[in-house]
């Protein structure tokens, strides 16, 4: 379905002067084309007022109300943080890469005008992706925290470099007691993140699936597991000496105690992205080095054109 936004929330990577300069240029470019915009930093606190430029307010999901989409100037980490923060609004996101990998960001920071013009011409569509809702329930039954994850929720050891013992349940069925460094529960969109580094599968991001990947399991056999997103996953710390933390998208964390339960379930269409090419994921697997034919170029000469973005 054709999507042409008339208002954009522009979220800028906090304290990044280059991204801010480009955001101001984009805002002016949009204004000339009758598109309203609002600039906010990605962090909770705005840059000092003496830095000049457009005055900014602290980032809050309330800024997205009434906006058609969010344009994010940053890297994958900024995309993840903004995606979590904007869950109440569920507006589509489009990234301009100011990071290192830029797997989730659609647009190059050096070549944004043709892409934004294509957006104004209706050449982008909304592609929905799952997110994970998590809740930490203490042994006493009290709530220890809850929220959303775009890439993954990790239940893993703390600062001491030793394995921990974790029980895994799926839909209230006991699956395994694992002695490992941790367990990664990821979305399909997040399958190229920590889960891939731990040997998990690469899963097409629009699939309604959730992955469970153990990190360095000791003995036994537990291969990465792909489940329907509706599955209810429960993880529990077993041994009292184990120091375990819950980590959300590699950005937020909180400690768990023995007997605490971490409950995770997938929710559909909680992370909408604006995409120009529905095959972007397959192209980016090669462009970002996840799938390569071996030493040499990314593709044989006869396929070079197909390999380009």
Distance CA 29, CA 168 (A): 51
Question: What's the mean pLDDT when you consider all of the chain?
Answer: 88
Lowest mean pLDDT among 153-157, 174-178, 296-300: 296-300
Q: What is the pLDDT of residue 119?
A: 95
Residues 113 and 151 in one domain: no
Number of domains in the chain: 2
Q: In this predicted model, what pLDDT tens digit does every residue of 55-84 receive, in sequence order?
A: 445 567 788 888 999 999 999 999 999 999
156: CATH: 2.60.200.30
Q: Give the domain-ending residue among 267, 285, 300.
A: 267
Residues 135 and 37 in one domain: no
Q: What is the pLDDT of residue 303?
A: 64
Question: Domain limits at 123?
Answer: 7-127
Residue 244: pLDDT band with limits 50, 70, 90: very high
Residues 165 and 259 in one domain: yes
Q: What is the pLDDT of residue 116?
A: 95
Question: What's the DSSP call for residue 47?
Answer: P
Residue 174 lies in a domain: yes
Arithmetic mean of pLDDT, 133-149: 95
Distance CA 76, CA 70 (A): 14
Buried b / exposed e along 283-298 (16+ C-beta atoms within 10 A)? ebbebeeeeeeeeeee
Residue 290 lies in a domain: no
Residues 155 and 211 in one domain: yes
Q: CA 159, 163, 165, 169: dihedral to nearest 10 degrees?
A: 90
Residue 99: is its pLDDT beyond 90?
no
Q: In this predicted model, what pLDDT tens digit does every residue of 204-218 receive, in sequence order?
A: 999 999 999 999 998
Q: Give the domain-ending residue among 127, 152, 169.
A: 127
118: CATH: 3.40.50.10330
Residue 16 lies in a domain: yes
Q: Give the domain-ending residue among 127, 155, 175.
A: 127
Residues 135 and 262 in one domain: yes
Question: What's the DSSP call for residue 48?
Answer: P
Is-contact 202 290, C-beta < 8 A?
Answer: yes
Arithmetic mean of pLDDT, 269-289: 90
Residues 143 and 54 in one domain: no
If residue 304 lies in a helix (H) or strand (E), which one and from where to where?
helix 304-307
Residue 282 lies in a domain: no
Residues 136 and 122 in one domain: no
Residues 79 and 154 in one domain: no
Residues 230 and 205 in one domain: yes
Is 134 or 15 the better-scoring residue by pLDDT?
A: 134
Is 156 or 243 the better-scoring residue by pLDDT?
A: 156
Distance CA 233, CA 226 (A): 12
Residues 114 and 143 in one domain: no
Residues annotated as catalytic (active site), given as ranges: 76
Residues 106 and 174 in one domain: no
Cα of 288 vs its chain's centroid, Å? 16
Residue 227 lies in a domain: yes
pTM to 2 decimal places: 0.88
How does strand 209-215 pair with strand 225-228? antiparallel
Is 39 or 240 the better-scoring residue by pLDDT?
A: 39
Residues 113 and 168 in one domain: no
């Amino acid at each position: 379905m054709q999507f042409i936004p008339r208002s954009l929330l522009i979220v800028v990577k906090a304290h990044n002067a280059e991204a801010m300069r480009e955001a101001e240029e984009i805002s002016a470019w949009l204004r000339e084309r009758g598109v309203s915009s609002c600039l906010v930093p990605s962090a909770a606190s705005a840059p000092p007022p003496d830095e000049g430029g457009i005055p900014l307010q602290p980032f809050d999901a309330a800024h997205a109300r009434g906006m058609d989409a969010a344009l994010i100037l940053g890297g994958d980490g900024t995309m993840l943080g903004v995606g979590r923060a904007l869950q109440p609004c569920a507006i589509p996101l489009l990234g301009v890469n100011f990071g290192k990998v830029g797997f989730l960001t659609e647009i190059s920071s050096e070549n944004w005008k043709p892409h934004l013009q294509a957006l104004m011409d209706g050449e982008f569509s909304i592609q929905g992706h799952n997110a994970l809702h998590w809740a930490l329930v203490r042994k006493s039954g009290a709530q220890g925290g809850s929220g959303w994850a775009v890439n993954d929720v990790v239940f893993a050891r703390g600062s001491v470099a030793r394995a921990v013992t974790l029980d895994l349940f799926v839909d209230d069925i006991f699956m395994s007691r694992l002695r490992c460094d941790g367990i990664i529960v990821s979305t399909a969109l997040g399958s190229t993140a920590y889960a891939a580094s731990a040997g998990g599968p690469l899963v097409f991001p629009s699939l309604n699936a959730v992955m469970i990947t153990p990190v360095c399991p000791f003995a036994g056999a537990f291969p990465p597991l792909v489940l329907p997103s509706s599955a209810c996953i429960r993880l529990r710390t077993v041994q009292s000496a184990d120091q375990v933390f819950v980590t959300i998208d590699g950005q937020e964390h909180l400690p768990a105690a023995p007997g605490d339960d971490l409950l995770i379930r997938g929710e559909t269409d909680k992370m909408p992205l604006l995409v120009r090419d529905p095959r972007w994921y397959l192209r980016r697997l090669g462009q970002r080095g996840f799938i390569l034919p071996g030493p040499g170029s990314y593709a044989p000469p006869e396929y070079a054109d197909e390999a380009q973005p």
